[in-house]
Amino acid sequence: MTKDPTTVPDLKSFVEVSSDSHFPIQNLPYGVFLRRGDRGPRAGVRIGDHVLDLKALQERGIGTTAPLRPGLFDQPTLNAFLELGRPAWRAARELISTLLSTDAPTLRDDSELRTHVLVSVADIEMILPVAIGDYTDFYSSREHATNVGTMFRGKENALMPNWVHLPVAYHGRASSVVLSGTDIHRPRGQVMLDGSQHPVFSPSRLLDFELEMGFFVGPGNALGHPIPATEAQEHIFGLVLVNDWSARDIQKWEYQPLGPFNSKNFATSISPWIVTLDALEPFRCAGPVQVPEPLEYLRGAGDRSYDIDLEVWLQSQKMDAPVRICQSNFKHMYWNISQQLAHHTVTGCNVRPGDMMASGTISAPDPSGYGSLLELTWKGTKPLIFADGEQRKFLADGDIVAMTGYCRGEGYRVGFGQVTGKVLPAEG
C-alpha cells in the first residue's frame, strides 16, 4: 500500500509548530472562525498556533479548481464541503499540505500572501463548524455499559440481551450541541428522591460528564438505501471530542420505557476542530474482539478503530489548576464508527451532510479510565478525593470540565485540542 504523503512522520511545515502541539502538518483539521473585525465566518485549517484562511486563499485564486469550486469556504458552515465527499476532501488536504510544507515556495516566500492567509489563533473566534441536522448518541463501550448495568441491575444482568448484537443508540437534540467554552446551566427537571413516592421538580443533584467522541457525516444516502459497513468510511468526514453532559437523577426517573430525554437534551459540547479520517489513518487499529460475530451487515474488512488517547480534567472553584481524573482510549469502543453508521441506515434511514453521531461514554477496562463520574465514584459511593481534601461525587456549580485527545506519532501528535465547559447554577 502506498504511503499517504500528507501523513509521513518526516513531513515538516515552514510554519513553526512545537513538538507537543496537537496540530502539526500531519493533522490539518477543519474549523469555522471569525477574523477580528470581519463580519462573516469562514473555513480554516489549523496548523500549530495559526489558521490557514481558506476563504482568503481562494480569493487569491488558490484552490479554486474542481472539485474545490470558488466560494466553497466563504460560508458559515462546512456542510457544502462535507457534501462533496472524499475526492474533494483529499484534493483539499493534498493542496493544503503542499502549500504549508517547507519545500513549497508559494506561501513560504511570499510575506504579503502569508500575512493575508495565515492568522494567529489569538486573533480569531471559533464558531460551530457544522449545521447539525440530526444528532444520534450511541452506547458503544462495553466497559461503560457493563458498569452502568451492574450498578442498576446487578452483575448477572449488566448487559441487555441485544447489546452484543447491535450498536444501541438514541436520538439526541441537535439544537443544544454547543462549541467548547460554552458555559452549561445545571438543568432542572423531575426527580424521584430516594424513599419518596412522588417526584419533585428541582435542579439536578447528580450532574455528570460523559467522555465521548463524535463523527460528522459527509455524503448522505437516499431514503431506502442503506450504507454498508464496508463503505461507511467513505461517508464519514472526521471526528471531534464530545462531552455529552448528563443529569443522572433526571435520567433515572424518566428513561423507562423510551430512554433519555430531558436528562440529555440541555447541552452537548464539542471541540472546534474536526480531525479528518485521512489524518487518523496512521493510527487505525483493531477494536475489541466481537463475540458473537455480528450479523453480516455489521461486518467489515480490516481494522476500523483508532488509537486515540483520551483524558478528562476537572477544576473546581477552589483549585489553582485542573486535576486529571480519567485516562481512556477510543480503541476500547466495542462498536466502531463504520458499524454505527451501517446500523443507523440499515432500515433505509437517510443521513445527511453534517449529521453528527456520538460514540457514547468511552470507558477503559481499568477504573482510572472510566469515562463518567457515575462510574469513577461508583454511583457516588466512592467519592473522588483531591489533594486539598475537596471531594466530588458529581459535578458542583463552578466546576470546569476539560477533555482532550491525541494520537501519538513518531515525533509528533495528531490531536483534537480540548472541549471545555463550566457548570453554572440552574436558572430560574
Give the residue numbers annotated as catalytic, written as ranges.
Answer: 144
Alpha helices in 240-377 (DSSP H): 248-254, 277-280, 337-345, 373-376
Q: Is 364 helix (H, G, I), strand (E, B) or coil?
A: coil
CA distances from residue 47 to 79, 180, 332 in whole angstroms, order as listed: 21, 19, 29
Span between the terminal Cα atoms of the chain, in Å:
60
Cβ(312)–Cβ(326) below 8 Å: yes
101 secondary structure, DSSP code: B
Buried-exposed string 59-71: b where 16+ CB fall within 10 A, e elsewhere? beebbeeeebeee
Q: Residue 363: which of 400, 405, 327, 324 has the closest Cα? A: 327
Q: Residue 361: which of 393, 388, 326, 389 has the closest Cα? A: 326
CA dihedral sign of residues 132, 134, 135, 140: negative
Cβ(384)–Cβ(392) below 8 Å: yes
Q: Taking CA 133 as the corner, what is the angle to CA 127 and CA 138, rounded to the nearest 5 degrees?
A: 100
